[in-house]
Amino acid sequence: MTAQALRGVAAVVGVGESAYTRGGTDGVTDVSVALDASTAALADAGLTPGDVDGLVPPYMGATAEELIANLGLTGVRFCAQVNLGGASPVAALGYAASAVAAGLARTVLVPVGWAGYSGRRARALSAAEPTTSYRKAVRGLYAPNGVHSPSQVYAQVARRHQHEFGTPAEALGRVAVNTRAHAVATPNAIMRKPMALADHLASRWIVEPYRLLDCCMDSDAGAAVVVTAADDPRHTGRARAVLDGWADARPSEPLDMYNRADFFETGLTTAAPAAWAMAGVGPSDMDFAQIYDCFTFEVLQQLEEAGFCGRGESGDFVLSGHTDPGGRLPINTHGGLLSQAHALGMNHVVEAVRQLRHEAGPRQVDGARLGVVTGWGDLGDGSIAVLRREGR
């Protein structure tokens, strides 16, 4: 069987989110936000916990056992975890779809939850047990040279890109400004104060070339989706988001961000062509893109590696207006990790599904029929899923 044979076999039929907050609520944990999102996603799908027979638990936070116990999932027979850092949620869609296609499960719940504001923050994670290659690299190789957080690790790549290709600060700023404009139109986004380019350029340095407004936020957020067969007879007749192509990959030197033969290679460099081939469509067919936006430059880098533009061309691509609200490729129409919340990128999947159902209200991309979601994790792991609207 080829990957193409799996095109269109599965669909996202339910999406859910926890409240997106930054403090002010007691008892918010990684587990609680994952549970809230799961319950919402099952309700959205018109299904119950008893229907769930497949589970892809998140790579950090709630365990499979906690999800099973707290949600009352009595029938789980397929359960597999994906460990690609922030690229895990989008990759998990493909694993869920594969399980459905193989007949290993009929209803797969894919939740994430991170109390990244009230609980452990991103900059503290590299000091946690070095259980991942990212943490091992930071602890063993980068931290002794003053590089502790993702912002510091990735800033070296951003700076080199600026040096080689002349990518201006205004291009990074344009990503931040566009994303905020979308957040203003998204009721559950945390950051909804309008932002101008001047605000971005005046925000304080975190680690050059990243300013405060180049960085995603610490938040408490959970998001979840439900995957079934695309032709599952339980569907209510509502439009759904069919998975036409997906792939995930690690870069060719997976242990160290800085020693790849091609310095800008990421997992997406190989995953994206595979996903496009599987889906039978390409970047120019997309009505929108939800791109993992841990920092503004990573959006530019992924636009290049996913094939929306050539290597080194992403600055011109966004400055030309293509990715502005209402442009030919709106990006992160919900406000992303930069301005909506840091639900580990599963909020990007939720938004893609809402766009394809035409339920996105004032930020709806007119007639959206095809969209893409990417994930970015750890030392540049990549994932991508191409989704298509099906149904009335």
Partner 1 sequence: MNQVRLQHCPACRRWYAMARDRCGCGTPLVVAPVSGRGTVFSATVTHQAMTEEYAARVPYQTVLVELAEGPRVLALVDGPPLPLGAEVSVVDSAPAGADVPSTALLVERSRR
| Smallest separation (angstroms) from partner 1 to the CB of 85 | 17
The distance of Cα 328 from the centroid of its chain, to the nearest Å, equals 21
User: CA-to-CA distance for 115 and 30, rounded, in angstroms?
Assistant: 5
Q: Beta strands 205-207 and 78-79: pairing type? A: unpaired
Residue with tokens 């595979």, as numbered in its chain: 274
Of 19 and 212, nearer to partner 1 (C-beta) is 212
| Smallest separation (angstroms) from partner 1 to the CB of 162 | 9
Of 163 and 193, nearer to partner 1 (C-beta) is 163
Report which DSSP code applies to 115.
E
| Smallest separation (angstroms) from partner 1 to the CB of 84 | 18
| Smallest separation (angstroms) from partner 1 to the CB of 257 | 9
Of 147 and 309, nearer to partner 1 (C-beta) is 147
Strand partners, 284: none
Question: Cα Rg for the chain, rounded, in angstroms?
Answer: 19
User: CA-to-CA distance for 184 and 342, rounded, in angstroms?
Assistant: 16
- CA distances for 366 relative to 55, 281, 330, 359, 388, angstroms: 33, 19, 11, 11, 14
Of 79 and 169, nearer to partner 1 (C-beta) is 169
Of 230 and 338, nearer to partner 1 (C-beta) is 338
| Smallest separation (angstroms) from partner 1 to the CB of 156 | 5
Please give the full DSSP string across 1-12, using - where no structure is assigned: --GGGGTTSEEE
Of 144 and 367, nearer to partner 1 (C-beta) is 144
| Smallest separation (angstroms) from partner 1 to the CB of 140 | 6
| Smallest separation (angstroms) from partner 1 to the CB of 253 | 8
Residue ranges that bind partner 1, judged by CB under 8 A = 123, 127, 137, 140-149, 151-152, 155-157, 159-160, 163, 204-209, 255-256, 258-259, 263
- CA distances for 376 relative to 196, 248, 298, 299, angstroms: 26, 10, 8, 10
- CA distances for 234 relative to 73, 97, 106, 327, angstroms: 19, 17, 11, 36
Of 258 and 311, nearer to partner 1 (C-beta) is 258
φ, ψ at 74 (rounded to 5°): -95, -15
